[in-house]
Structure 1
Amino acid sequence: MTALDKYQRLEAAGRWRGSAEAELRDVIVSFGDATIVLTDLRTEIPLSHWSLPAVMRLNPGKIPAQYAPGPDDAEMVEVDDELMIAAIEKVHDVIEANRPHRGRLRGWMVLLGLLIAAGAGAAWGPSALLRHAADIAPPAQRAEIGRLVLADLEKTAGTACSRPAGDMVRHKLAARLLGPEADIVVLPTAQQGARRLPGPITVIGTDLIGEGATPEILAGHLLAAQARAAESDPMLEALRQVGPRGTVQLLTNGSLPPAALSGYAEKLLAGPPPRPEDEPLLGFFARAGVSSEPYARALDPTGEAVLGLIEADPFRTATPKPVLGERDWAALRQICDQ
């Protein structure tokens, strides 16, 4: 979006709600290259990321302008800053200017795109087509797919937990262990481990913050999810659920068919996530500054099945920095409390 360079790092005040029933809260609306970031005004914690091309205006011509991240999303933000409104409208103008016009040319272009994608599928086979789509998916598209997977998970496991103090801790923990763009989502039921979604979003359940859990055990599961994602791309796993036909649609017009990921949550939650290979996993522990033994003992108290993680613990003869302090750990454990 080079035509939008003058709007880079643009920020404005707004009022956001995360669902149709939620109350409006004050936020900072930040305009980026491909996303809009909504940040809590008081805590400075990011609350939501929206794909700029997908943002739609709910009340054209009215002020404050109301926007949603998509046609079927209950999230909404109000903005009355003229420059921010102009920036978002400019995005839509750029998209419209580059969109093929209706008529014969558009029909031929769509047909050509479908033929190219179909030809690629025939030449490579379905697996190669899915892998290609996962490889070229931009961050904003991965984030949107992750949101769709999370929405399907919430239908099965319940709405993600949120309390201000706990949210602050999960963002802090994600930044330390998983990266600055990562997010940790806590679902209100046991999940038998952590699962990495496209985005990057890592989902955990109450079993990892409940009785018998510790910050080190939680950290181990989070790092194991990262290691699994390095072995098997979560985007590719999601596209396997979508299938070749839905993936062709994603490649040609940037969106998935309705309900393309419906039922994917059942597969994700069918059993404990597979355990990654010890050697790369230990590398994640070492880089994060976390001992691997607490995680290993949580998997197998006898140590027999996890001997490699115990004996090669990068902090077997040293004391790592605590993952979380007592106060932060208590706040995270209360995140699902009503």
Structure 2
Amino acid sequence: MTALKKYDRLEASGLWRASHESQRRDVVVSIGNATLVISDTRDQAITHWSIAAIHRANPGKRPAIYHPDGDPGETLELDSNEKQMIDAIEKLRRAVERRRHSPGRLRWLGMAFSISVVAAVGIFWVPQALINHTLNVVPKVKRVEIGEALLDRIERLTGSACDNPAGIKALATLRARLGADKLSVMPGALQNSLHLPGAHILLNRALFEDFEEPDVAAGYAIVEQHISRTQDPLRALLEVSGTWASFQLLTTGALNRDVLDGYAEYLLTDGRPPPAPETLLPIFENAQLRSTPYAYARDITGETVLSLIEADPMIGKTPKTLLSDADWLRLQSICGG
């Protein structure tokens, strides 16, 4: 990847769109530090693509069309007269591909390249800055892939996510009522709730089977979603897994098995403190959900969650129905119990 130095001032004009439904826009394309930088005509950066995760939709044809790994809806089109930029991108893609096919050499080259980037831009001397840079260039589709890989490893330890068809349908109803991220119910060996990269929330079956009303599970779901949206779950993974995991994701677009296995075990055993009760009241108010059932589920005495009980935003109001009685019964049996 020392070839980056050759192209550090190379620019080209292109057409970019964010999705299949979006209009194409005139953009300026340049090569940055391990990324392809796409800017508008006023030189304002629109997005960064990791060079390690760029795919070509029409190999050998012109105009050349590129997209991020796993997201063919977002495209960049370079006309035939931008031959120098197309050749540069292809050369860098070939370099990345050779590194992927040489596992032993990959470790040395990845480290050498990363160190050269650190020396060139200075910012990467600080591990936190490296994490920030990595988070900026990882596309959403890659976050979903990492979340699914983590779920696969968690399921090996807890058992597969509960999949009773009637319960799954009721869970979808609950998710729609809450406006929540993707929900899964796990059969055991799990804290009350967890969240994964890619907007995926895991709930323990006990939240459905040990309580007489759905408000408890719903409360844990919206609180977990709040944590996920205020504390980037991919950042947490990289901070726990160490600097090498950030280098790895930045340069290869993937995380190896050991990193994923280690973090899955960490998620199941980490005794993280719950959010401060007073910070959660707006969350329950926006969801039109009673906070009292969730509060007593956290602390049966109510002493440590008194604000959630005394300032319950639904006191004196009629909250929107969460589930019908039939759907709640189906949801309580989602794990076959």
Same fold, judged at TM 0.5 (above): yes
Alpha-carbon spacing, 1:99–1:215, altered in 2? closer, same or farther (3 Å): farther
Partner of 1:256: 255
SS of the residue aligned with 2:170? helix
Task: Count how many residue pairs are aligned between Structure 1 and Structure 2.
Answer: 262
**How far 1:269 moved relative to its partner?**
1.8
State the SS of the aligned residue for 2:274. coil
- Cα distance, 1:240 vs. partner? 2.1
TM-aligned CA distance change 1:113 to 1:178, over 3 Å = farther
Partner of 1:168: 169
Higher CA-based Rg: 2
1:290 has 2:289 as partner = yes
State TM-score, norm by structure 2.
0.65
Q: 1:105 offset after TM fit, Å?
A: 12
Contact 2:219 2:284 in 1 (8 A): yes
Q: Matched residues, percent identical?
A: 34
- The change in CA–CA distance for 1:104 and 1:129 in structure 2 (over 3 A counts) is closer
8 Å Cα contact 1:152-1:264 kept in structure 2: no
Unaligned 5+ runs, structure 1: 10-50, 54-68, 71-86
1:150 maps to which residue?
A: 151
SS at 1:316 equivalent: coil
Match of 1:127 in 2: 128
User: Contact conserved, 2:118 with 2:125, CA < 8 A, in 1?
Assistant: no
Q: Deviations over 1:61-99 (max 9, x none)?
A: xxxxxxxx99xxxxxxxxxxxxxxxx98xx9xx9x9954
Give the structure 2 partner of residue 232 of structure 1. 231
Matching residue of 1:114: 114
For residue 225 of structure 1, what is the amino acid of its counterpart? Answer: E
The two structures, once aligned, show a CA RMSD in angstroms of 3.9
Q: Report the CA distance shift for 1:165/1:8 in structure 2 as closer, same or farther (over 3 A).
A: farther
TM-score by length of 1: 0.65
Cα shift at 1:142: 1.2
Structure 1 residue 321: Cα displacement: 1.5
Name the structure 1 match of 2:200.
201
Letter in 2 for 1:300: D
Partner of 1:44: none
Q: Secondary structure, in 3 states, of the residue corresponding to 1:140?
A: helix
Q: What does residue 38 of structure 1 align with? A: none
Classify 1:199/1:117 alpha carbon distance in 2 versus 1 (closer, same or farther; 3 Å): farther
* Residue 215 (structure 1) shift: 0.6
C-alpha change, 1:264 and 1:103, in structure 2 (3 Å) is: closer
Aligned pair in 2 of structure 1 residues 102, 130: CA closer, same or farther (>3 Å)? closer
Letter in 1 for 2:148: R
Q: How far apart, CA to CA, are the structure 2 residues paired with 1:332 and 1:223?
A: 17
Q: Summarize the Cα distance change of 1:278–1:168 in structure 2 as closer, same or farther, 3 Å threshold.
A: same
**1:204 aligned counterpart, secondary structure:** strand
The 2-side partners of 1:121 and 1:260 are apart by 26
Which protein, 1 or 2, shows the higher relative CO under an 8 Å CA cutoff with sep ≥ 6? 2
Inter-CA distance 146–239: structure 2 relative to 1 (3 Å threshold): same
Q: Deviations over 1:22-74 (max 9, x none)?
A: xxxxxxxxxxxxxxxxxxxxxxxxxxxxx997xxxxxxxxxxxxxxx99xxxx
What CA distance in whole angstroms lies between the structure 2 residues aligned with 1:2 and 1:189?
49
